[in-house]
Structure 1
Amino acid sequence: MDNIPKMTVIRQCLSLLPTLSPTCVPLDYGVKKLRTLALLQLSVTAHLLRWESYREYAWQLDASPDLQELLGLPSISASQVSRRMNQLPTALLEHLFYALTHLIKNLSRPASSGLLQRVGRLLLVDASCLKLPAFLSDWARVTRDRCGVKIHVSYAVTSPEHTFVQHMVPSTGNVSDYEGSDLLLHEEEVTYVLDRGYVCYERMDRWIEGGLNFVMRIADHHQANVLHEHPVPEGSRILRDATVQMGSGYTAMEQRVRLVEFTDEKGRLYRIVTTQWEASAEDIAEIYKHRWLIELFLSG
């Protein structure tokens, strides 16, 4: 494991695993080999070193006396790993995830000024679909021909150098992005960054009434009724900075929001609505550009 940098996030997470020992004891009743804690440590090691199969788990363990000593495990077979993986409760993994998130959040507090000092900490929100085989997944049926689950994620940006997953909520694949946001948006001292799939005027009104801040992209067809135009800086990519009311008729928002329109380096137009009134229009554009961080996480 010498080729793994000591300060990688996942290696630091590995050092926390022994704190789960009391939780693992009931799961090891009658287990003679590959206890739960060793299984978790072996799995994290496999992720670090990109092992691709349970057979490779067995080969690599046989070839590494140091790893054998760390895990207290002289050898293992691929079938033993597979059997123990099938017995591993997902609730334990959820417990581990939130324990690690809590630790990382506390460690990042000294550097929690945020991407921009006047805006503070960002929480990027998105969702990703995982396709499942139809013959095993009637419980997760989305359409007649497709089954899947959706993972709703909030990704914290506490400073330009510090990012981590803060919340991760699973659902069946037919839950919309904006429905998933009901479980993710609840902190008042952050700014949520969202894509077009989260546009829901009723929810946006509710977020504003609850003191939540957001920066959200809207589509070309979303109607923005301009109430007041603000000056835009000359020579920048900012095309519009205005106070608007979204929607029309009985679907219109009750609350006012700020609309910032800008183009990127390739000339693509972005329309952003936000509750951040003090930040500059350039700051709003910069905040939304950092949304690619959660895209990288979900695609990785």
Structure 2
Amino acid sequence: MDKSTVLSTILQRVIPKETIDFFMGELAVVDVARKFTVYDLFLFLSEAAFQQWKGYRDGEQRMAQSGLRKVNYSTLSKKAKDVPFELFKRLLHHMIQLCNRKTRRALGIPKELLVVDSTKITTGLGRMPWAPLKGEKSGVKLHVALLVDRGEVYKVTETTGNEPDIKSCPSLQDSQRILVADRAYGKHARFDEYQEQQERQYFVIRLRDNTIFHEPIHRKRKQPFEGTIHQDFTCQLGKNKWLTKHRFRVVILEDPKRNPVILGTNLHWHSAEKIAHIYKQRWQIEVFFRWIKQHLNIPMLFGTTPNAVYGQLYTALLVYVLLKFLFDQGNATVHASAQLTFVEFDRRFTLQVLPPEWQVYLCLHFTPPSNI
């Protein structure tokens, strides 16, 4: 494959140095380095995620082969420690805005599904004492909102590993979409807030198994339930001072192991089967987390400071957004006989053995200007 299709070269076309300079100006970040700049660090972290390098020392040996400016591992470590991770967070959300499509296919659902969840990355307590967990561990969380119908990252934020997931939800939710989440986000007081805010936040969220239902009224049906659904009713949730002010809908079904799955929602116009289908889409974010951990080296934290850790993680997610964009646009461009699955595209792109039609597509659309 022509060298113009390697990841760092494509990144230089999609996110040129001027973009990073702009965000650095917003954050008042001054880069006085000449030998290894913030932009060089960004390209290094991107290649490190994509090629699954094992750390700064490993990356030092591989940089030149990837067309990167070579420095020693101590310079890499110091740079990653000094650059505010907020810069990489802004770059990620800038990439999301660049790459996410503006259109969506109709699914018979009035709004898109926005699945929210978190993944935890852990290490020994001695490596990150600022992020302690129970026992002799430390860790951080990435909280992600995923547009399920498109497989696109929508929003991301970070916390240390011991922060409850519910605290991150306000920064991820979007009243233009249906929020889908697991039990960690099932706080009853938040349900009332969703119902009362100026533009109502619709949701399908799993409830805890010990949830108390106050004055349930079963919904009338003309046909028996399909699949594993057992109940569909409205009620207030909780009791005493924790009782919700509003009535919400509850749909109860069984998982494959015959354990109860209790769903709370304020969607009253869909069938119980549709509510169950919406919640089942939450599994897509688990697939997403598994993919990025397997393919973008996320569990392998290079540094130990917040800037180094979060900067690496945000850059890895940026690489995912770019790969997904290249895949979606490529499959829409090449002939049907040359179309690939995302897994095939990632493997072939990594090995630089893409079919000729894909190589032409990448060269035509992502060859950088001569001044880069």
Query: TM-score range, shorter-chain basis?
Result: 0.7 to 0.9
Matched residues in 1 for 2:55 and 2:129: separation? Answer: 27
Pick closer, same or farther for the CA change 1:103–1:46 going to 2, 3 Å.
same
Matched residues in 2 for 1:109 and 1:271: separation? Answer: 33
Structure 2 match to 1:34: 36
Structure 2 match to 1:230: 220
Maintained 8 Å contact 2:20/2:91: no
Matched residues in 1 for 2:77 and 2:134: separation? Answer: 31
Structure 2 match to 1:219: 208
Structure 1 match to 2:265: 274
Q: Deviations over 1:104-160 (max 9, x none)?
A: 3xx4211264xx332421111123344465456565456686654443322222x2x
Structure 2 match to 1:123: 114
Asked whether 1:263 is paired with 2:254, we answer yes
Asked whether 1:54 is paired with 2:56, we answer yes
Matched residues in 2 for 1:214 and 1:263: separation? Answer: 20
Matched residues in 2 for 1:213 and 1:238: separation? Answer: 21
Matched residues in 1 for 2:276 and 2:180: separation? Answer: 11
Asked whether 1:240 is paired with 2:231, we answer yes
Structure 2 match to 1:163: 151
Equivalent positions of 1:90-105 (< 5 A) are: 90-104=85-99
TM-score (norm 1): 0.80
Equivalent positions of 1:1-300 (< 5 A) are: 15-18=13-16, 19-23=18-22, 27-29=30-32, 31-62=33-64, 64=65, 67-68=66-67, 71=68, 73=69, 75-104=70-99, 107-111=100-104, 113=106, 116-131=107-122, 133-135=124-126, 139-141=130-132, 147-157=138-148, 159=149, 162-185=150-173, 187-210=174-197, 211-225=200-214, 226-231=216-221, 233-299=224-290, 300=293
Matched residues in 2 for 1:172 and 1:61: separation? Answer: 30
Maintained 8 Å contact 1:121/1:191: yes
Select the structure with the greater relative contact order (CA < 8 A; seq sep ≥ 6): 2
Pick closer, same or farther for the CA change 1:2–1:246 going to 2, 3 Å.
farther
Shift of 1:94: 1.6
Matched residues in 2 for 1:203 and 1:152: separation? Answer: 18
What letter matches 2:179 in structure 1? Y
Query: Matched residue of 1:279: which SS?
Result: coil
TM-score (norm 2): 0.66
Greater shift in the superposed pair: 78-87 or 135-144: 135-144
Structure 1 match to 2:306: none
**What percentage of aligned pairs have identical amino acids?**
26
Shift of 1:269: 2.3
Q: CA RMSD in A?
A: 3.2
Query: Matched residue of 2:253: which SS?
Result: strand
Pick closer, same or farther for the CA change 1:28–1:139 going to 2, 3 Å.
closer
Could you tell me which runs of 5 or more consecutive residues in structure 1 were left unpaired when the two chains were aligned: none
Could you tell me which runs of 5 or more consecutive residues in structure 2 were left unpaired when the two chains were aligned: 294-372
What letter matches 2:40 in structure 1? A
Pick closer, same or farther for the CA change 1:22–1:145 going to 2, 3 Å.
closer
Shift of 1:295: 2.2
Q: Deviations over 1:174-195 (max 9, x none)?
A: 432223223333x222100111
Matched residues in 2 for 1:212 and 1:144: separation? Answer: 38
